[in-house]
């Protein structure tokens, strides 16, 4: 008899009544359809963010406010699609792995979309506790195209920016707020780049943060939760490196005592495709016929004030050796070396590579000796944007495009920097700004177009660099 009663209760009310549920699940189950959606939305802290893209998989990222089950539901956008979702419900839908977020990992979830085909666009929904999160902006991602041996590589566009300071008055330094102009992310998203390169200082740890794991994770969460940033994250693929402020204190080097913690935070909050060294954020990725070499200028770095010489490391011997091997192996038309501080600028001030002159000379000579074509540098840090061009006898010039800042306080270069032979006249921008770079044209005549925009989205300057110039 008791067995019959047990079965009747199970049929009427389900296993949740008998065995219990988490608090988050109870909140979701309690309401009807509209209430369910509102509850799921209320559990979202930041994101969704689209991470790396390849032909067979895409990584996505979400952060919740408390422990919760998270999953992504996605489907290919057909030709009949309007807005961010297909008009027809007949399209095949897929689900990523499900993650149960927890406090130890700052309630972040990395979700893999692996039921995809090359060269497609997909719309997606965030599911928290099995319910769709309603968002007021498009959520989509794309896979890279299989163009090799078939067609010329497709044209693509990507955003570049560094130095994102988000104010928090109760722990910021007194005085005029250092951050601002958050509408820059709206202007950036309006450009609809295929992906975004975050080139360091993507968040700013403060004195209250950098001595504890709790502080570091709280700072990363605070920055990532900026409302103006969310539409860009949700529909644009994102790749990142770090510089001193998201690595540790200002001008921090290899001696920083909590670098394992900040590396863990970096990996929790970004979705890069690979990490070359277990102790570093360095990695690489390809997009069509271009390759991006994402370098770490902090983990192995000797103190800035150390006298220059063969033992004063910036990238370190092993990272440089990997870079040279990877550049030599690469068949990419443009080989973008992405790092935090300026490389080509010869000024021995601030944290420019020039104050590590011995290593800098060795790297430049090695690139020249190996006859590696197509190398350019993308950098940040300096709180103004500028283009430097280093002429090299007997070979092509090295360009260094610095894009900075996004939302941090702008700064001007030293007067003597604008008199250097490397400075490309007319490229200095001392307001908050971002870059949009595009690569177009047939494979044998690819063109890189650089455009720099201010925080309102107004174009400030543009320049073309042909692949044929970098051989």
Give pLDDT tens digits for 212-257.
999 999 999 999 999 999 999 999 999 999 999 999 999 999 999 9
d(CA 51, CA 271): 5
Instruction: Please indicate, yes or no, if residue 150 is contained in any of the structural domains.
Output: no
Q: Last residue of a domain, which of 76, 110, 142?
A: 142
Tell me: do 262 and 138 sit in the same domain. Answer: no
Q: Span 10-20, mean pLDDT?
A: 32
Instruction: Please indicate, yes or no, if residue 147 is contained in any of the structural domains.
Output: no
78 confidence band (pLDDT: 50, 70, 90)? confident
Compute, in degrees rounded to 10, the torsion defined by CA atoms 228, 234, 239, 245: 30
Q: Which two tokens stand for residue 467?
A: 């692949």
pLDDT above 50: residue 35: no
Q: Last residue of a domain, which of 115, 142, 169?
A: 142
Contact 139, 58 (CB under 8 A): no
Question: Burial, 277: exposed, middle or buried (Cβ in 10 Å; 0-12, 13-18, 19+)?
Answer: middle
> Using one digit for the tens of pLDDT, what is the confidence trace for 325-383?
999 999 999 999 999 999 999 999 999 999 999 999 999 999 999 999 999 999 999 99
Contacts of 125 (CB under 8 A, 6+ apart): 72, 73, 74, 132, 133, 139
Tell me: do 186 and 256 sit in the same domain. Answer: yes
Instruction: Please indicate, yes or no, if residue 288 is contained in any of the structural domains.
Output: yes
Instruction: Please indicate, yes or no, if residue 346 is contained in any of the structural domains.
Output: yes
Is the CA virtual torsion 232, 234, 240, 244 positive or negative? positive
pLDDT above 50: residue 31: no
Tell me: do 29 and 89 sit in the same domain. Answer: yes
b/e for 198-216, b at 16 or more Cβ within 10 A? bbbbbbbbbeebbeebebb
**CATH of residue 406:** 3.60.21.70
Report the percent of the chain where pLDDT is more than 70: 89
40 confidence band (pLDDT: 50, 70, 90)? confident
Q: Last residue of a domain, which of 107, 142, 177?
A: 142
Tell me the pLDDT of the chain averaged across its residues. Answer: 91
Tell me: do 185 and 323 sit in the same domain. Answer: yes
Q: Tell me, what's the pLDDT at 38?
A: 56
Compute, in degrees rounded to 10, the torsion defined by CA atoms 15, 19, 25, 31: 60
Q: Span 449-456, mean pLDDT?
A: 98
b/e for 455-470, b at 16 or more Cβ within 10 A? beeeebbeeebebeeb
Tell me: do 103 and 199 sit in the same domain. Answer: no
> Using one digit for the tens of pLDDT, what is the confidence trace for 177-201?
999 999 999 999 999 999 999 999 9
> Using one digit for the tens of pLDDT, what is the confidence trace for 80-131?
544 444 444 447 999 999 999 999 999 999 999 999 999 999 999 999 999 9
Tell me: do 129 and 163 sit in the same domain. Answer: no
Q: Tell me, what's the pLDDT at 85?
A: 44
d(CA 208, CA 358): 36
Instruction: Please indicate, yes or no, if residue 149 is contained in any of the structural domains.
Output: no
d(CA 238, CA 162): 13
Contacts of 17 (CB under 8 A, 6+ apart): 9
Instruction: Please indicate, yes or no, if residue 294 is contained in any of the structural domains.
Output: yes
Q: Tell me, what's the pLDDT at 39?
A: 85
Tell me: do 76 and 198 sit in the same domain. Answer: no
Instruction: Please indicate, yes or no, if residue 151 is contained in any of the structural domains.
Output: no
Tell me: do 93 and 175 sit in the same domain. Answer: no
pLDDT above 70: residue 259: yes
**CATH of residue 22:** 2.60.40.380
Tell me: do 422 and 277 sit in the same domain. Answer: yes
Q: Tell me, what's the pLDDT at 79?
A: 66
Q: Helix 259-269 vs helix 213-224: angle between axes, to the nearest 10 degrees? A: 30
Q: Tell me, what's the pLDDT at 143?
A: 98
Contacts of 15 (CB under 8 A, 6+ apart): none
Tell me: do 132 and 196 sit in the same domain. Answer: no
Instruction: Please indicate, yes or no, if residue 48 is contained in any of the structural domains.
Output: yes
Structural domains of the chain, count: 2
Q: Span 392-404, mean pLDDT?
A: 97
Compute, in degrees rounded to 10, the torsion defined by CA atoms 11, 15, 20, 26: -80
Q: What's the chain look like in SS3?
A: CHHHHHHHHHHHHCHHHHHCCCHHHHHHHHCCHHHHHHHHHHCEEEEEEEEEECCCCEEEEEEECCCCEEEEEEEECCCCCECCECCCCCCCEEECCCEECCHHHCCEEEEEECCCCCCCEEEEEEEECCEECCCCCCCEEECCCCCCCCCCCCCEEEEEECCCCCCCCCCCCCCCCCCCCCCHHHHHHHCCCCEEEEECCCCCCCCCCCCCHHHHHHHHHHHHCCHHHHHHHHHCEEEEECCHHHHCCCCCCCCCCCHHHHHHHHHHHCCCCCCCCCCCCCEEEEECCEEEEECCCCCCCCCCCCCCCCCCCCCCHHHHHHHHHHHHHCCCCCEEEECCCCCCCCCCCCCCHHHHHHHHHHHHHHHHHCCCCCEEEEECCCCCEEEEEECCCCCCCEEEEECCCCCCCCCCCCHHHHHCCCECCCCCECCCEEEEEEEECCHHHCEEEEEEEECCCCEEEEEEEEHHHHC
Instruction: Name the more confident of 417 and 26.
Output: 417
Between the CA of residue 234 and those of 138, 272, 284, what are the distances in Å? Answer: 7, 15, 22
Tell me: do 136 and 160 sit in the same domain. Answer: no
Is the CA virtual torsion 334, 335, 340, 344 positive or negative? negative
Domain that holds residue 88: 2-142
Tell me: do 187 and 332 sit in the same domain. Answer: yes
d(CA 233, CA 18): 41
């Amino acid at each position: 008899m008791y067995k019959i009663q047990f079965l009747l209760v199970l049929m009427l009310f389900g296993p949740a009544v008998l065995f219990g549920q988490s608090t988050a699940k109870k909140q979701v189950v309690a309401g009807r359809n509209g209430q369910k959606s509102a509850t799921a939305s209320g559990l979202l802290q930041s994101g969704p963010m689209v991470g790396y893209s390849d032909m067979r998989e895409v990584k996505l990222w979400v952060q919740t406010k408390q422990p919760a089950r998270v999953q992504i539901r996605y489907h290919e956008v057909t030709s009949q699609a309007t807005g961010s979702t297909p008009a027809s419900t007949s399209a095949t839908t897929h689900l990523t792995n499900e993650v149960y977020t927890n406090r130890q990992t700052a309630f972040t979830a990395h979700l893999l979309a692996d039921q995809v085909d090359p060269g497609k666009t997909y719309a997606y929904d965030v599911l928290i506790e099995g319910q769709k999160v309603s968002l007021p902006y498009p959520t989509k991602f794309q896979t890279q195209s299989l163009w090799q041996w078939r067609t010329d590589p497709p044209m693509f566009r990507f955003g570049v920016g560094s130095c994102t300071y988000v104010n928090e008055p109760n722990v910021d330094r007194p005085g005029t707020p250092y951050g601002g102009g958050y509408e820059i992310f709206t202007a950036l998203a309006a450009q609809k780049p295929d992906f975004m390169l975050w080139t360091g200082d993507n968040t700013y740890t403060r004195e209250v943060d950098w001595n504890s794991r709790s502080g570091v994770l709280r700072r990363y969460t605070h920055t990532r939760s900026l409302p103006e940033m969310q539409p860009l994250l949700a529909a644009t693929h994102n790749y990142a490196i770090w510089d001193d402020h998201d690595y540790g204190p200002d001008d921090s080097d290899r001696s920083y005592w909590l670098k394992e913690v900040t590396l863990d935070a970096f990996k929790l909050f970004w979705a890069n495709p690979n990490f070359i060294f277990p102790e570093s954020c360095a990695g690489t990725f390809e997009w069509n016929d271009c390759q991006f070499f994402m370098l770490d200028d902090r983990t192995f770095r000797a103190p800035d004030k150390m006298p220059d010489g063969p033992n004063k490391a910036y990238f370190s011997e092993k990272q440089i050796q990997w870079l040279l091997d990877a550049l030599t192996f690469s068949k990419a038309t443009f080989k973008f070396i992405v790092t935090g501080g300026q490389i080509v600028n010869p000024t021995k001030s601030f944290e420019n590579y020039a104050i590590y002159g011995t290593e800098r000379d060795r790297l430049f000579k090695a690139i020249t000796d190996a006859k590696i074509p197509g190398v350019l540098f993308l950098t940040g840090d300096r709180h103004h944007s500028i283009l430097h061009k280093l002429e090299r006898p007997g070979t092509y010039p090295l360009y260094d495009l610095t894009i900075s800042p996004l939302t941090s306080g702008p700064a001007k270069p030293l007067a003597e920097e604008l008199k250097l032979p490397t400075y490309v006249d007319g490229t200095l921008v001392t307001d908050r700004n971002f870059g949009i770079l595009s690569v177009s044209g047939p494979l044998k005549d690819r063109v890189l177009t650089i455009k720099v925009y201010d925080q309102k989205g107004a174009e400030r300057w543009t320049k073309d660099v042909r692949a044929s110039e970098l051989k």
